[in-house]
Structure 1
Amino acid sequence: MLDVTWIGFSPLVGSLLASLLAVYYFVWSRSRFVRLIDTLPGPKTYPVLGNIFELNVAHDELLRKACHDWIKQYGSMYRVWFTVRPMVVIASPELLEPILSSNTLVTKADEYDCFIPLLGKSLAVAKPEEWKKNRRLLNPAFKVQILNSFMYAFNDKSLLCAKELEEAIKSSNGGEINVFPIMTHCTMDIICETTMGGKTLTDEDKAGYIKNFHGFENIFQQRLNQPWLRLDWLFELSGPGRANARFVGELRDFSNMLITHRRELVKRKTEFAQNESSERDANPTDELQVDDDTKKNLIFMDLLLKEGDVNGNFNPVEMRDEVSSMMAGGHDTTALAFTWFLYLISRNPDKQKLIVDELNNVFGDSDRPCTTQDLAELKYLECCIKETLRLYPSIPFMLRRLPEDVEIGGYVLPKGVTIGMMVYGMHHNPEVYPDPEEFKPERFFPENSVDRHPYAFIPFSAGPRNCIGQKFAMLELKVVLAHLLRQFQFSVSDPTEPMIIPLLETTLKPKSPVNLIVTKRSFQA
């Protein structure tokens, strides 16, 4: 009898719920929040669905729409609706400045919550108060003195990268080589040798980490594209959710392995130093020499261990999350920068020749390591790196959530709205960079940069919440590329082929493999 009653009343209950939802949507759609968002230009929306039909497209088409078509049609600030969640997209330095320069508008958007299983409350995704504390504690690990001490590792791993390229040349019989995996191995070796404290990775280590990291990235992208997967309980029950748990578990184990390795190494060094100190106490005539700078300048992992194990500022989970964040941000983005750079100079042999000429002026026919003094002279190489990062910023967009109303460009953007800082769109905005699709390193000559807005070039973000590792990345790029271009020439088999299309994902990955022809270069080139 109860079942019959329920069945009889279910259409009425359904109608009532539908009516309540319709009333709620009607009231919400006329709220101040929605009205402020809809004063902005943007593509036509549909009730409840917003712009979902135009946004649910392939990633290369989404890049074209978001960073070219809509900027041209609606200007450098427009709005889109992901069903009932709005985003205000900004793609000009003047409009981004109020956000980037602010010490209060530093809240990461809720969309980054999908990273929390791996990155926790680390610098990459932390809320403002946690971020300020952690950034203050970890900043000293990226002082110039420490970064310069990594030169030996940059040089050493550059040689290993060159050997891997030589082996690939032999395997390909002089044919094309997909350079992205090779550059990924190089960046992983470098970050583990330097900031992570000297852990040497096996091929199995690298393969396992890359597999798990790319798996995690792909599922993160699914969660962005499929709103129902943002419901944690539903996601955890789904196939992608179960796969994500496996990827996260393996990546966490990798981070814990790095911490354990360095902790044991530091312990052995401390015990050795204590034994030496005891011997000196027994022989007071021995001269005691203490390097105060060495004590003050701690690499990232040692500083993290000190702040965690000694000072109690990080618990074990937070330490693991900071290592995971540094690994994720320090290898994939730089590997992409290397890959896009080599692709661009392969398609622009005249620019490649200018770099090689500069290298010959500095190094002659020597195969000696790079020094910091050498790097100061490689000005054209630096311009080519910057132009690569303009055309292909590794992080194509950044998302912030406004904690308060903000007036920008004559519009009031309401508290709680997500701001899409479209780095790729701004770097390709013809109002910011004339001929934006052309590879012109000369844009970054000092005389051509004088009047450029300080926020017109932001591959590492800008302002208070910029990338903590940007100086590390630029130093790494210069040293490794100087080595590779002294030893190899890079070209494409068919320069008339269309450019490889980038994809608008969390990072700006190429749609197809970056296959280049790599040949050994004589030192007299």
Structure 2
Amino acid sequence: MEELTLPVWLTTAVVSGVLVHQVIFKRFEVDTHPVVIAVSFFSAPSFLAYILRHYTVQYATSSTITAWLLVATFTSSVWMSMLLYRGFFHPLSKFPGPLPARFTKLWALTQAAKTHLKWYQVDAELHRKYGDFVRTGPRELSIIDPQAIPLILGFSSKTFKGPFYDSMEDSVSTTRDKIFHKQRRKVWDSSMKQLLTTYSPQLEEFTDTLLKRIKINLGKAITINELAVHYSFDVMTQLAYGQSEGFVDGSCSEAANKFLSGMKNGVDAIGLLNQVPWMLTLLTTFAGLGGPMKAYNDWSNQALEDRKKRGMKAPDLMEQLLQNTKQDRKGNSLLFAESRVIIGAGGDTTATALSEIFILLAHRPEYIKKIREEMDPIFATSKYSCQAVYPVLESVINETLRLYPPVLFGSPRVTPPQGLQIGDKWIPGDMVVYMPSWQLHHDARNFVDPDDFVPERWTSKPEMILNRSAFLPFLIGPNNCPGRPLAMMELRSVIARTLNEFDVSFPLRFEFEEVKFFRNVKDHFLAGVPKQDLVFTARKS
């Protein structure tokens, strides 16, 4: 039998590359398995060299070089086929957007890096230039058309979570399995409902500790971000593991301090890599080898094991989750992942909101006065409860969450196989779409004077809210935040009780520029608020 010549081998490699792209890469989310692809690529030359060495004569002495040449040819063929398809024949070709974004999500990563993690600002500029539908990746659209909100995020939506969620551990927040999510969400909702009936006194104890720390530092500059993080993480570690870590009063362990520092150091990487999910998958896969996430994972795993042995000493969310989770390997992995969801999602978002509210109140003291006018009679009659809704206080909280949302991530979804009709736009099936909350919150079609801080829109000026469904700090639909009631309890407790005892202001001779300050907020999945010192003093009026 005559041996194949090199041109035939190369032609076969080219044809194989095109077929692999057409049959596999176009039809499956292979980018969610970067380790498999990497292993296949680097092992292929050895396999080919073995074939060439043992089953051919003319390539026996140059088998390794020939094998690498064939693999390079195959890879180039895959990429050429992919780039041609993405650039000129893709179903999203009719949608406008920057040219490089058609070919690779690496363009978005470079923009995030170039703007120092301000992708939400890049995205906003793209919408100003191209309109409501912008192609931001090979199979990705950023959408701000208000009509799309219920279709993409609502309870009746037929979309699925995007491939980004495969880069993280499976949990109620990250699973892409709708059936599992529905079952697990019932456990979470039931657990939260039971917890909130008994948790108020414990939450107020955390606020007591916070107020003591403020008293110790009266008249001194306090970094509000740090104070807010310590408070929210004390609340969340107690919820997740039945025991507060003592960040506010300074009694926390060295391991807890290390994990908190690790989280702070790791968020910038997440802010970049969430643009390219397969890179984030690699980061998650190899987190156990070292880096900031390892300290967090090690600490949380040990904290959960200790919680299981210790049992429940005070109300916590983990009690119900433990009772409704099988105690096997899969169940333990789920509990570990969800305990980290409680800490990460619950702690950072509330801390961001607290920081922003206090900064805005220091800048706009007239709202301190309005909150006190509402709350003073309530405190005087001992009828205060962090579970109750107080219109003025609630309006300041809601307006802060609208104007400067703590979560900037667009929560990507995949369109159903049959596609999705939004107004006069048809989105093909199996495309990634997302709706950025910052842009929706700042859209004049949804809110009158969207760039202005007007808490009254939530009370005496409801006509300033044109589209209530566009208010997305906790998302909407089946994937809305299960911790919303608790987060609001924390915000009410801290803001109301702090203003009841203290005045808050900026340090002397410090000139605060609101627009400039908030333009420096980073987008690393959550909002990264610049550090800001505030001064608390005894209340004068």
- TM, length-normalised to structure 2: 0.77
- Other structure's SS at 1:504 match: strand
For 1:167, give the aligned amino acid. Answer: I
Report the CA distance between 1:420 and its aligned residue.
Answer: 1.9
For residue 34 of structure 2, what is the aligned residue in structure 1? none
Distance 1:16 1:508 in 2: 42
- Cα deviation code 1:403-422 (max 9, x no counterpart): 43111232222222222220
Which residue, 263, 268, 272 being the options, matches 1:218? 268
Distance 2:377 2:416 in 1: 52
Distance 2:238 2:112 in 1: 41
For 2:235, give the aligned amino acid. Answer: I
For residue 146 of structure 1, what is the aligned residue in structure 2? 195
With 439-448 and 453-462 compared, the bigger mean Cα shift is at 439-448
Distance 2:435 2:223 in 1: 31
- Residue 515 (1) aligns with residue 533 (2): yes
Report the CA distance between 1:137 and its aligned residue.
Answer: 2.0
Distance 1:424 1:76 in 2: 14
For residue 300 of structure 1, what is the aligned residue in structure 2? 317
Distance 1:17 1:183 in 2: 50
Whether the aligned pair in 1 keeps the contact of 2:445 and 2:467 (CA below 8 Å) is no
Distance 2:72 2:146 in 1: 50
Distance 2:276 2:82 in 1: 24
Report the CA distance between 1:227 and its aligned residue.
Answer: 7.0
CA pair 255-370 structure 1, distance change in 2 beyond 3 A: farther
**Alignment root-mean-square deviation, CA:** 3.3
Whether the aligned pair in 1 keeps the contact of 2:457 and 2:465 (CA below 8 Å) is no
Whether the aligned pair in 1 keeps the contact of 2:223 and 2:533 (CA below 8 Å) is yes
Matches within 5 A, 1:237-316: 242-244=289-291, 247-248=293-294, 250-258=296-304, 260-261=306-307, 263-266=309-312, 299-308=316-325, 315-316=331-332
With 43-52 and 180-189 compared, the bigger mean Cα shift is at 43-52
Whether the aligned pair in 2 keeps the contact of 1:216 and 1:248 (CA below 8 Å) is no
- Cα deviation code 1:98-145 (max 9, x no counterpart): 1122445453221233322xxx334344532221121122211122x6
CA pair 2-109 structure 1, distance change in 2 beyond 3 A: same
CA pair 23-125 structure 1, distance change in 2 beyond 3 A: closer
For residue 210 of structure 2, what is the aligned residue in structure 1? 161
Give the aligned length: 469
For residue 63 of structure 1, what is the aligned residue in structure 2? 120
CA pair 17-467 structure 1, distance change in 2 beyond 3 A: closer
Question: What is the identity percentage for the equivalent residue pairs of Structure 1 and Structure 2?
Answer: 21
- Residue 332 (1) aligns with residue 348 (2): yes
Distance 1:417 1:428 in 2: 25
Whether the aligned pair in 1 keeps the contact of 2:151 and 2:157 (CA below 8 Å) is no
Which residue, 198, 202, 209 being the options, matches 2:259? 209
Which residue, 222, 226, 236 being the options, matches 1:181? 226
Q: 5+ unaligned residues in a row in structure 2: which ranges?
A: 1-58
Matches within 5 A, 1:485-500: 485-493=499-507, 494-497=510-513, 498-500=516-518
Distance 2:305 2:527 in 1: 29
Matches within 5 A, 1:428-443: 428-443=442-457
For residue 434 of structure 2, what is the aligned residue in structure 1? 420
Which residue, 3, 22, 38 being the options, matches 2:80? 22
Distance 2:201 2:441 in 1: 34
Report the CA distance between 1:340 and its aligned residue.
Answer: 0.6
For 1:306, give the aligned amino acid. Answer: Q
For residue 414 of structure 2, what is the aligned residue in structure 1? 401
For 2:134, give the aligned amino acid. Answer: Y
- Residue 502 (1) aligns with residue 521 (2): yes
CA pair 363-242 structure 1, distance change in 2 beyond 3 A: same
Report the CA distance between 1:29 and its aligned residue.
Answer: 4.2
For residue 98 of structure 1, what is the aligned residue in structure 2? 151
Whether the aligned pair in 2 keeps the contact of 1:443 and 1:449 (CA below 8 Å) is yes
Which residue, 370, 382, 387 being the options, matches 2:399? 387
CA pair 190-73 structure 1, distance change in 2 beyond 3 A: same
- Residue 121 (1) aligns with residue 171 (2): yes
Report the CA distance between 1:444 and its aligned residue.
Answer: 0.7
After TM superposition, where is structure 1 displaced by more than 6 Å over at least 4 residues in a row?
8-13, 234-237
Larger RCO (CA under 8 A, 6+ residues apart): 1
Whether the aligned pair in 2 keeps the contact of 1:155 and 1:369 (CA below 8 Å) is no
- Other structure's SS at 1:38 match: coil
For residue 344 of structure 1, what is the aligned residue in structure 2? 360
Whether the aligned pair in 2 keeps the contact of 1:390 and 1:427 (CA below 8 Å) is yes
For residue 23 of structure 2, what is the aligned residue in structure 1? none
Distance 2:398 2:404 in 1: 10
For residue 353 of structure 1, what is the aligned residue in structure 2? 369
For residue 280 of structure 1, what is the aligned residue in structure 2? none
- Cα deviation code 1:236-268 (max 9, x no counterpart): 67xx88434x624543532542453355334x9
- Other structure's SS at 1:434 match: coil
Report the CA distance between 1:23 and its aligned residue.
Answer: 4.1
